[in-house]
């Protein structure tokens, strides 16, 4: 089973090498790696090109700004029967590609996409994180965990059948400010597909979005309302607004632990509160 890996990037010089190092260890299991450069102005591209001698990498220039455009360009260019996707700060666990292949080999044909278990590598472990309950530290035990039905897919750790992508390609939105992964999940469900979560397909991801100032995080989480509107899902408007409220409560519960956590020393340091943080761009 050929698996193409798509990684959208925008000024990711601080993270992309670590992500590709994890892929490099599993290079025999990946058909191709498509890095979709969304107008990076730092050393991201140069770093990616250093891996070209060791990985089957293609760099795709995506001039229209936005994660959704970078993702679409990568998915469209992928030639594998399975299209996997991670973010530039995602660290896939050993056996990740094997877990993707095993999942789709066993899944019914109406299962179009899968998302994996995730944990923040740069944050204290919050037991109320929605994905922590599925993340298993022991790789042997992780393999024994059964996939579960899941309502959405998460772009930082996911895979989709290429034929399913092609069938909904014209139905996905490209409006600015949407959650493109949630929109894709809804497009799949509306077309009669199912989505699932596989604990065996584990990755560590960054919780850097939690370091955004409150106003910036509010703009980010309100993207779900924009996604509902652009999707034409009037039935989900109330749920989307409730989601925004709960997300902000969750954010403020985590605010001080996240901002004072030193991921290198693995301890809290109140001096980190004095650091000025630049807000992440909205997808």
At residue 18's C-alpha, the angle toward residues 127 and 24, to 5°, is 115
pLDDT band at 222 (very low <50, low <70, confident <90, very high): very high
167 or 131: which carries more pLDDT confidence? 167
Average predicted confidence (pLDDT) for the chain: 93
pTM of the model: 0.93
pLDDT in tens, 39-56: 999 999 999 999 999 999
pLDDT band at 125 (very low <50, low <70, confident <90, very high): confident
| Stretch(es) of the chain classified as CATH 3.90.550.10 | 3-206
**Can you give the pLDDT at residue 161?**
98
**Can you give the pLDDT at residue 183?**
97
| Statement: residue 276 has pLDDT above 80 | no
Share of the chain above pLDDT 90, in %: 82
pLDDT band at 273 (very low <50, low <70, confident <90, very high): confident
Question: How large is the average pLDDT for residues 141-162?
Answer: 94
**Can you give the pLDDT at residue 227?**
96
Architecture in CATH for domain 3-206: Alpha-Beta Complex (3.90)
**Can you give the pLDDT at residue 129?**
73
5 or 272: which carries more pLDDT confidence? 5
């Amino acid at each position: 089973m050929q698996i193409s890996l798509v990684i959208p990037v925008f000024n990711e010089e601080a993270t992309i090498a670590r992500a590709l190092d994890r892929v490099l260890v599993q290079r025999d299991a990946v058909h191709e790696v498509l890095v979709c450069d969304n107008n990076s102005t730092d050393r991201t591209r140069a770093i990616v090109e250093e891996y070209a001698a060791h990985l089957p990498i293609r760099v795709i220039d995506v001039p229209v700004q936005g994660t959704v455009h970078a993702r679409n360009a990568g998915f469209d260019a992928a030639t594998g029967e399975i299209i996997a996707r991670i973010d530039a700060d995602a660290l896939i666990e050993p056996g990740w590609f094997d877990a993707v292949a095993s999942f789709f080999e066993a899944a019914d044909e109406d299962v179009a996409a899968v998302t994996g278990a995730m944990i923040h590598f740069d944050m204290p472990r919050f037991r109320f994180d929605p994905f922590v309950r599925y993340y298993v530290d022991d790789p042997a035990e992780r393999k024994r965990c059964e996939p579960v039905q899941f309502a959405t897919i998460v772009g930082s750790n996911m895979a989709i059948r290429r034929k399913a992508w092609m069938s909904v390609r014209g139905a996905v939105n490209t409006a600015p400010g949407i959650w493109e992964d949630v929109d894709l999940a809804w497009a799949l469900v509306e077309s009669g597909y199912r989505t699932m979560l596989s604990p065996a397909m584990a990755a560590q991801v960054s919780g850097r979005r939690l370091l955004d100032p409150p106003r910036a995080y509010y703009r980010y989480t309100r993207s779900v309302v924009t996604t509902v509107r652009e999707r034409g899902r009037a039935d989900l408007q109330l749920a989307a607004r409730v989601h925004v409220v709960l997300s902000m409560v969750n954010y403020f519960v985590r605010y001080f632990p996240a901002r004072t956590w030193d991921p290198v020393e693995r301890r809290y340091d109140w001096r980190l509160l004095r650091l000025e943080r630049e807000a992440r761009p909205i997808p």
